[in-house]
A and B are shown apart, each in its own frame.
Chain A
Amino acid sequence: MLNSRTRVILWAQWRSTRNRFPRANQVGVAFTGIMGLIWYGLFGYLSVIAAYLLSSPSELPSLGGAIPGALLLCFLYWQFIPVLTASMGSSLDIRKLLVYPVPRGSLFWIEVALRVSTSIEMLMLLIGAGVGLALNPSVPIWAPAVLIPFVAINLLLSAGVRDLLIRLLARKRIREIVVFLLVLCAALPQALLLNGPRGRLRQIFSGEPAPYWPWNATAELATGKFSWFSVVTLLLWVAVVYFFSRWQFERGLNFDRSEASAAGRSSSRGAGLLEWWYRLPSVILRDPLGALVEKELRFLTRTPRFRLVFTMGFSFGLLIWLPMAFGRNASRHSLLADNYLTLVSVYALLILSDALFWNCFGFDRGAVQLYLLSPVKFGVVLVGKNVAAAFFVALEISAIALVCALLRLPLTGIQVLEAIVVSFVVMLFILSIGNLSSLYNPRSVDPSKSFRTAASARTQAMLMLAFPLALIPVALAYLARYAFDSEWAFFGALLGGGVLGGIVYSYSLGSAVRASEQRREEIITALSRGDGPIAS
């Protein structure tokens, strides 16, 4: 049972969550509700299907072989999807709770329970499977209960992995290496499916299951095939992941973020190169715009959260799209291969969008007051932010092109030009919407926390609607290229799109400036807010 302090923490979190709602936008809340209903409804449906199939004695023998693979997928989803989506779910804000007389054990178990929030989908499927097995007369009555230790393994391991990742990501230099490795892990399944040794991959899911893995041991027992080896295997796994996650949690409790960030300093040569990069805008632009852009470059380059999305921008997209464009079955001159650089560049815009476009004052938080008080027109501040975004987008495209060149992918000058022009036309439209969104829906973001979703429900909704809209002019340009079979038509249409984007940008900038005057107080208040005892 929950002890009194655990109940208090959960009560405070419930109140914190409830207190957000009356002030939140009703459309955003409704959108989140609808999307959640569709998403979880889908998994609810799959859960019912699982229950139906597993409850049938005639279906079970044919399904038996697929159960270990299904449990492995469930395990992988539970452990890796939160990492890949950079959404680590709800977690305790340990720093705020450490000052109270709460036993560490209680905090640990709350933290483990909160891991449910990262993969409710998998829990739904396992519940469905459990119900199906319980209704199946050919399965012993105890069999469905073995899914409980499997869930415990997933929860405990997920908590341990999260604590480990958070500490690694707080350390300079190590953080970048970890992110790169995570990106490689993300692309691995797809790369293996398209290019890897097929036999071996198939064997993982369809071959003779190795009995020492928890998903295999669980599958054996859940289908009623009792063996002491499987029981011991499962219990050993529970014990191992318990000690691992407890160890990581204790290390997390004693972890001092200041200490970690103090370690490691860049070399003077690297610092010199960075200084050149920081000073670049001031060479081209006059103050105050130059100073604003320079500040953004300095600030964002030093922000762990931004560095993470920037690294993902040129690595994640490349790896995700690479097998599809240049995989074993792909033609060297397919639509994907011919437009690979452009595709990855536009995808990078999507990854960068939350940090650079939709909520561009999020990292500034309380400091946004300076912009509102300084004797600089607010329009100039917004343009400064947008120019800095353009600098980073240009750098991102250069990084993508460089990696493509290093990988010896087919790359021509015209393709690089196309990627740049397309990205900047798309960016003009995104900036137009993003400037308004940054002022109408500002949200404070902790720049030091790499693994928290920054976007609010409303922002996510806007992202889903705005991004396809921003792509329309570019899509029309590609249509023109296809229809007229002419590069002139393509670049002409892109130019038209750019002009239209410029007009839309100019108009939205004026609206954003007016919004900054009318909503000054709301903006400052929204950007100054922090979290509850449990942050999501």
Chain B
Amino acid sequence: MSAAISVRNLRKVYGSKAAVDGLDLEVPRGCFFGFLGPNGAGKTTTIRMLMGLAPPTSGSIELLGLPMPERALEVKGKIGLVPDESLLFDHLTGPEFTEFVGRMYGLDRSVARERGQELLELFELDSEPRKLIGDYSKGMRKRIAMAAALIHRPELFLLDEPFEGVDAVGARLMKEILLEQVRRGATMFLTSHVLEVVERLCDRVAIIQQGRLVLDSTMAELRSGSETLEDIFVRAVGAERPAETLDWL
């Protein structure tokens, strides 16, 4: 079976700077994949290219065995996105947004509405159905994005910092749902700065630095050593330096 994500020599150049520089990546199906990197390493640019929001300068992308952008329509129907907040519609309510997303993925209106309602209950967003998404807290916005991502039972999830701003109870619920999705065969592609979360959830990890892949390994291999994921991450991105003290601090 083809990989869930297969990226070959992917490049994205902004002006004279390469945000992603010759990235090769293979994410097997059914894998919980953690994609890590320091700020500005090219994580968001990569995920934007996978989502089809930014065209690559060169290189190829295959999602679920289908080439992008040639088969984009087919691929998009099988993907669930938890993007950054800017892709939410602030003037829709939670039920309206989940219904909208469900119908955009081709569900019948009644099915979209019913599933949307169930997801809102699951994520505890059903108490104020008339509240606009623009009035949601950061954690609520991430939860509504997650609820919308699940509505069409996608095969591949692209998750950009999904736990950012979510409280412990909400985060735990989201993790359980995501693990359940992996158990049923879905693939997760997760970017996160919280290494503990990645360590606990992912079975494979890649680290990107200055647009290039500097580490790609299974979690089991990484755990076999004595180092924590944080130690490995810091070493991989070449950020090992003594903590400098400032005189005035």
Contact = CB atoms under 8 A, between A and B. Distances in A.
Interface of A: 4-5, 8-9, 11-12, 15-17, 19-20, 95-96, 98-103, 254, 256, 258-259, 262-265, 525, 528-533
Given A8-B104, A99-B76, A19 B91 contact: yes
Nearest to A525: B135
A532 B92 contact: yes
Contacts of A19: 91-93, 96, 132
B104 A101 contact: yes
A531 B100 contact: no
A8 B100 CA distance: 6
B89 A533 contact: yes
A434 to B, nearest CB: 24
Contact of A100 (B15, B74, B93, B105): B105
Contacts of A254: 55
B53 A98 contact: yes
A261 to B, nearest CB: 8
Contacts of B88: 530
A99 B103 contact: no
Contact of A12 (B13, B53, B73, B96): B96
Nearest to B108: A4
B87 interface: yes
Given A11-B100, A16-B92, A528 B134 contact: yes
Contact of A101 (B17, B55, B91, B105): B105
B103 A8 contact: yes
B89 to A, nearest CB: 5
B51 interface: yes
Query: Helix, strand, loop or mixed for chain B's interface?
Result: mixed
Contacts of A259: 13-15, 54
A96 B101 CA distance: 11
A262 B52 contact: no
Interface string B57-96: 0000000000000000110110001010011111111001
Contacts of B104: 5, 8-9, 100-102
A264 B15 CA distance: 7
Interface centre among A8, A98, A525, A533 (most CB of B within 10 A): A8
Contact of B91 (A4, A9, A20): A20
A101 B73 contact: yes
A55 to B, nearest CB: 44
B87 A16 contact: no
Contacts of B73: 101-103
Nearest to A17: B91
Given A103-B73, A262-B17, A532-B92, 13 more contacts: A12-B89, A15-B96, A19-B91, A95-B87, A98-B51, A99-B87, A102-B104, A256-B54, A256-B55, A264-B15, A525-B134, A528-B134, A532-B90
A170 to B, nearest CB: 13
B55 A532 contact: no
A15 B54 CA distance: 28
B91 A531 contact: yes
A530 B90 contact: yes
A96 B89 contact: yes
Interface in B97-120: 100-101, 103-106
A229 B132 CA distance: 56
B247 to A, nearest CB: 22
